[in-house]
């Protein structure tokens, strides 16, 4: 017995006439008449007393009417519930993060978003900005939090507001630990731990005013987490950002700003024209709104028809679909 047959039966019982019910159901009268005869045969009972102009339900017909109504109502309710469930935000947001203060801002927002949409999972990749950019280009991650400089002609992006200042990470017993700031010229005779990222490295060397061969570079690092251990062991002075130290805090170390001051900012980037899944689309949209309302950053939309079109078109559909 099919659900369609039960709907046919309800229409016939309501109209008390095969022809009118057939018109209502957009089927032919012979087809509907045959369906009702097949239904009676399947149940082994007579459902209708057939008159010249109308049909009358038998006692079995009345009982079956109640059961058919219950079944159809339950089926309709189930379909509605599962249709509504399709509007529940789920899926995976794939993030890449460099070590920076922006990561703390983003981490707070991830927690807030996760509380609102517990069906969404996050996959986190840590690494250098260049590697994260390559991952975005290849589509292996959707979003990457990276440090300037970035070729923003390739990406749509949000610029997070915390400015990150360059300085040195030293042990508490190092002479620099007692200073308020360190002039870059003081680094010339120090054992240095420098970032491995080429674009950053060139800028730092130009700022310090020496060629690499003229300095005592004892270690090159891509992520500061393990480098902190070598600084604690007294290997040398790590040139890094204050944001990195905020993530890898150590009571045995001190961050001292360099002078003259140099600072950079972090960007959340994604590939131009990339189509997000619903979870990632909503995540970016809500982050954008948070940056706007809470002053946590600046929004930069590179071109019409990119993410700007995607998000603002999504805003209407998301509000409808997800009830937010």
148-153 average pLDDT score: 82
What the block records as the tokens of 295 is: 């002053």
For residues 14 and 305, what is the distance between their CA atoms, to the nearest angstrom?
52
Residue 153 contacts residue 267 (beta carbons within 8 Å): no
Mean pLDDT of all residues in the chain?
A: 82
pLDDT attached to residue 310: 38
Last residue of a domain, one of 85, 118, 136: 85
Last residue of a domain, one of 85, 119, 150: 85
Last residue of a domain, one of 85, 113, 143: 85
pLDDT attached to residue 320: 25
pLDDT band of residue 277 (cuts 50, 70, 90) is confident
Specify whether 249 is located in the same domain as 290. Answer: no
Residue 173 contacts residue 166 (beta carbons within 8 Å): no
pLDDT attached to residue 104: 82
Phi, then psi, of 6 in degrees rounded to 5 = -65, -40
> E-assigned strands of 196-288?
216-221, 237-241, 253-259, 263-271
Q: Tally Cβ neighbours within 10 Å of residue 258.
A: 20
* From 40-44, 65-69, 239-243, 300-304, the region with the lowest mean pLDDT: 300-304
If one counts the domains in the chain, the total is 3
Assess if residue 90 is contained within a domain: no
pTM: 0.60
- Tell me whether the omega of the peptide bond preceding residue 149 falls within 30 degrees of 0, making it cis: yes
Domain of residue 225: give its range.
Answer: 163-261
SS3 216: strand
Q: In whole angstroms, how far apart are CA 184 and each of 169, 198, 262?
A: 13, 19, 11
| Tens of pLDDT, residues 176-185 | 999 999 999 9
């Amino acid at each position: 017995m099919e659900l369609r047959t039960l709907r046919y039966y309800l229409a016939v019982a309501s109209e008390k006439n095969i022809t009118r019910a057939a018109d209502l159901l957009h089927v032919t009268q012979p087809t509907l008449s045959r369906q009702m005869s097949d239904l009676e045969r399947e149940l082994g009972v007579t459902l209708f007393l057939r008159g010249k102009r109308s049909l009358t339900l038998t006692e079995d017909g009345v009982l079956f009417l109640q059961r058919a109504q219950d079944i159809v109502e339950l089926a309709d309710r189930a379909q509605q519930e599962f249709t509504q469930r399709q509007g529940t935000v789920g899926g995976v947001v794939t993030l890449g993060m460099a070590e920076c203060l922006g990561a703390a801002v983003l981490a707070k927002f991830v927690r807030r978003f996760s509380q609102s949409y517990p069906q969404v999972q996050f996959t986190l990749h840590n690494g250098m900005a260049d590697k994260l950019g390559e991952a975005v280009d290849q589509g292996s991650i959707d979003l990457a939090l990276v440090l300037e400089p970035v070729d923003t002609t390739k990406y749509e992006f949000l610029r997070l507001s915390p400015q990150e200042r360059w300085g040195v990470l030293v042990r508490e017993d190092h002479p620099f630990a007692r200073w308020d700031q360190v002039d870059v010229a003081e680094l010339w005779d120090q054992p240095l731990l420098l970032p491995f990222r080429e674009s950053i490295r060139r800028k730092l060397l130009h700022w310090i005013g020496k060629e690499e061969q003229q300095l005592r570079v004892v270690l090159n690092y891509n992520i500061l987490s393990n480098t902190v251990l070598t600084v604690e062991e007294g290997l040398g002075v790590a040139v890094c950002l204050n944001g990195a130290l905020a993530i890898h805090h150590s009571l045995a170390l001190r961050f001292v700003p360099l002078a003259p001051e140099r600072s950079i900012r972090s960007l959340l980037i994604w590939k131009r024209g990339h189509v997000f899944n619903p979870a990632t689309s909503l995540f970016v949209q809500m982050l954008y709104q948070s940056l706007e309302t809470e002053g946590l950053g600046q929004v930069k939309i590179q071109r019409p028809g990119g993410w700007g079109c995607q998000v603002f078109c999504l805003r209407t559909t998301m509000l409808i679909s997800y009830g937010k």
